[in-house]
Structure 1
Amino acid sequence: MLTSGLDDRIPDLELLYRDLHEHPELSFQEERTASVLAARLAAAGLEVTTGVGKTGVVGVLRNGEGPTVLLRADMDALPVQEIEKVPYRSRATGVDPDGVSTPVMHACGHDTHMTALIGAVEQLVANRDAWSGTVLAVLQPAEEVGSGAQAMLDDGFLDRFGPFDVALGQHITSAPSTHLYLCPGVFMAAADSLRVTVYGRGGHGSAPHTTVDPVVLAASIVMRLQTIVAREVAPNEVAVVTVAAIHAGRKENVIPASAELKLNVRTFDPDVRERVLAAITRIVDAEAEAAGAPRPPEIAPINGFPLLRNDVATTEAVRAAFTEAFGAGHVHETTPKTGSEDFGLFAEAAGVPSVFWNFGGFDPALYPDDPAHPHAAVASGRAPGGHSPEFVPTAVAPTLRRAVEALLTAAAIWLVR
């Protein structure tokens, strides 16, 4: 059994999780994180390569003849200020791509992903007689900006670490601990992040009639963008347009000369994506002209994610293995999510199947409704959602145990004969 001895390992994994949670790092800045994880893999006896795609880590575990399975976890954190909930909360700061100092937090649970992967690898090492083949333990940087997987591939990942037969990955979600969620086919949306800069004519706050106010222009754009999904996307199509950042001015009586907006777009269909992006450009240009802007606005991409597709047959195999191991009541089929992931690029580049699933990480009492549909608890505010300053698992030990078990159970489909 690949899980033999796991219960004894959980306290040590929880210490690793707390350390990673307390010391988060932003995308492509995961130097300490990579060092801690590389040392752990090396101590387990893996062949370890660091600096893959700048800060990525790859560990190779060979155990005789058999398939090669890629197990992936992401390492980066977010520019979020963590609230005081746990004694090991993050007090770390970092510098974002704009050169601005910011608090940093593992508000998307990558600390649990890394810990689970380390736990799975250590279990495989401890139970070598129960399996055969090769495991690629991939600790990927910069998932939050959609660049880390491609950076590792561009750094020769396939040539350096050889072919593999399947790619497996997982992500914590706001749901009851010990529950697992799978979706065959398209699972996560494509994403486009944009920076929009609009220009006005600055001046004194007491004389707005002598200016072209970019703050008012930005506000008009925000409101008009909401009509794209409401009035230009069909009811049977899916799109999300979010303006999550606006920056303009520094003083209450000085009208600035420009304003910056940051947008995020999620779609499941290439045609919808093209139409939504075209509508954004049309609206931004038209609002600037209507405001009498002295120069055209600028729209520039920040980052992007591809669609994440789970291979249907492989997903069904993983679902069957999960159901046998954990019971049907703890394994759920979910619907496509408007969140995004770059994990699928590894399998796409190699031409092999991949499966990505979610695992719950919170006290089941937060989800009094059907555990197969935990989203109502997040929408009502009973439970934290991803990227929230409150997104800290409330059931750490059972969450880590199930995340390790899930990786091992899925990998065993190929490694245990």
Structure 2
Amino acid sequence: MDPAKLRAVYKDLHRHPELSFHEHRTAGIAAAWLRENAYEVIEGLGGTGVAGVLRRGSGPTVWLRADMDALPVTEETGLPYASTVDGVSHACGHDMHVTWLMGATAELAAAQDRQGTVVAVFQPAEELARGAQAMIDDGLADRVPRPEIVLGQHVAPLPAGSIGLTPGPMWAASDSLRVTIHGQGGHGSRPETTIDPVVIAAATVLRLQTIVAREIATTETAVLTVGAVQAGTKHNIIPDSATLLLNIRTYDLGVRTRVLAAITRIVAAEAAAAGAPREPTIVIEESAPTLTNDVPATDRTRPALESVVGAARVLNPGPLPSSEDVGILASATGAPITYWLLGGADPAPFAAATTIPEFLEAAGKIPSNHSPHYHPIPDPTIEVGVAALTAAAREWLDPST
């Protein structure tokens, strides 16, 4: 695979980011690439998703997945190949993921020493936690061979040339909720004639913070964030309603259930205490399950990754609170999954780090995914990512006889 060609692809994708379920240009580039490399291609899966199938005799089927969507973030990197789309950028690095998968599909198509089936999955709308399910609902698992393993990787603010691989729970479940508190509006000079939803919202925000602090054991993990409070239009008008946007992260289904129940209880109680005319409305708008790496599959994949970067550079960062919907592809097909982080940052800030906590501390001091300043360095990130994904896939395919 020509490294210069992949660098050009990456920079082109970076310049032209597309939001969730609008990845038409990116999907077209992926589909054309797959056809050039002799893959059967299915387009329009789950909206803009693309699947490519390479059949090489009998043997296992390996799914390789990359997400394609960008974020509504204005890029501030100053790169010569920065986003040309106002208010949209690849601040999460999905352009790198697409580049990696394109490179790996070319490498696997060119190789003659493995047999089995490779399925390349270019997925839309990971940022909405809806793209994987959309592809499954559109028949992905029936239109391509079912996998023995699902593999994937995510670029991270770790030194380029390093890999983060965690057996078992790796990333948290994520639930995003819209809470609408119903009040009774009126003139700001006569609050006694109203039921002020802003006051109810303020009390609710504070009370919600007691869920993790007072209802979740120190041996368990949960994060609850109120990301937005929306109410009113003018200084002297008490509005009819207020909206809270919440996000929770959990690793354990039981903890998730308790947190969601506590949110419902507290929101309803605060509204009732204020005499709200009706109960609040709670809607889960986005949801991604815990990403749990299959332990035997991860143990099997590890040597392949070590062969690319060296054993000392394959680290176990432990469970992290980020979230991903790639696990849906595995659970929907009954296949194990192995997913890992791959460093894309300048190694210099990490030079003095010798332990995993020191690595994570160094990572916290540089721009991370979703920052307007975030961007992986193309070299050697592209080369290492292609090699890692290719090596992992080859481990699961059979040697040619």
Tell me the secondary structure at the aligned position of residue 341 of structure 1: coil
Kindly report which structure 2 residues correspond to 1:247-266, keeping only aligned pairs within 5 A, or say none. Answer: 247-266=230-249
Shift of 1:378: 4.3
AA at the equivalent of 1:122: A
Structure 1 position 283 matched with structure 2 position 266: yes
Question: Where does 1:74-89 land on structure 2 (aligned, <5 Å)?
Answer: 74-89=67-82
Give the partner amino acid of 2:260. L
Contact 1:176–1:371 (CA<8 Å) still a contact in 2? no
Say which SS state the counterpart of residue 129 (structure 1) adopts: coil
Deviations 1:348-370 (A, max 9, x none): 22222220111011112233433
**Structure 1 CA distance for aligned equivalents of residues 144 and 27 of structure 2:** 18
Unaligned runs of 5+ in 1: 1-5, 94-102
Correspondence for 1:409 among 373, 391, 400: 391
The equivalent of 1:98 in structure 2 is none
2:58 to 62, 65, 70: 65
CA deviations over 1:228-257 (Å, ceiling 9, x no partner): 111110000001111112222233333322
Counterpart in the other structure of 1:272:
255
Corresponding residue of 2:131: 148
Within a 5 Å distance, the mapping from 1:24-173 to structure 2 comes to: 24-92=17-85, 103-125=87-109, 127-173=110-156
State the SS of the aligned residue for 2:235: coil
When the two chains are superposed, the root-mean-square deviation of aligned CA atoms in Å is 1.8
Matched with 1:22 is 15
**1:54 counterpart letter in structure 2:** G
Change in Cα spacing, 1:207 to 1:15, as seen in structure 2 (3 Å) is farther
Q: In the alignment, what sits opposite 1:387?
A: 370
* Helix, strand or coil at the partner of 2:372: coil
Amino acid in structure 1 at the alignment position of 2:156: T
1:118 aligned partner, one-letter code: M
- 1:232 correspondence with 2:210: no
Report the Cα distance in structure 1 between the residues aligned to 2:129 and 2:245, rounded to whole angstroms. Answer: 16
1:278–1:50: structure 2 CA closer, same or farther, 3 Å change rule?
A: same
| Partner AA of 2:275 in structure 1 | G
Unaligned runs of 5+ in 2: none
Distance 2:118 2:185 in 1: 59
Q: State percent identity of aligned pairs.
A: 52
Residue of structure 2 in register with 1:175 after alignment: 158
Deviation string 1:160-203 (CA, Å, 9 cap, x unpaired) is: 11222211111111111110011111212222111101122333
Give a deviation string over 1:324-375, Cα, whole Å, max 9, x none. Answer: 3321221111211222222122222222222011101111223343363432
Within the candidate set 188, 193, 212, 2:176 is matched to 193
Moved more, 331-340 or 276-285: 331-340
Aligned equivalents of 1:249 and 1:90: distance in 2? 34
Determine the structure 1 residue equivalent to 2:309. 326
Q: What residue is the counterpart of 2:353 in the other structure?
A: 369
Is 1:311 aligned to residue 304 of structure 2?
no
* Secondary structure of 2:228 counterpart: strand
Residue 357 (structure 1) aligned to one of 340, 343, 346: 340
User: For residue 203 of structure 1, what is the aligned residue in structure 2?
Assistant: 186
Following the alignment from structure 2 to structure 1, what is the Cα–Cα distance between the partners of residues 371 and 298?
29
For the residue of structure 1 that corresponds to 2:126, the secondary structure is coil
Q: TM-score, length-normalised on structure 1? A: 0.90
- Aligned mates of 1:404, 1:160 — CA distance in 2: 26
Does 2:328 match 1:345? Answer: yes
Distance 2:311 2:77 in 1: 36
Query: 1:32 deviation in Å?
Result: 1.7
Partner amino acid, structure 1, of 2:44: G
AA partner of residue 377 (structure 1) = A
1-structure distance, mates of 2:75, 2:236 = 32
Please give the TM-score of this superposition, normalised by the length of structure 2: 0.93
1:96 matched residue in structure 2: none
Does the Cα contact within 8 Å between 2:77 and 2:375 map onto a contact in 1? no
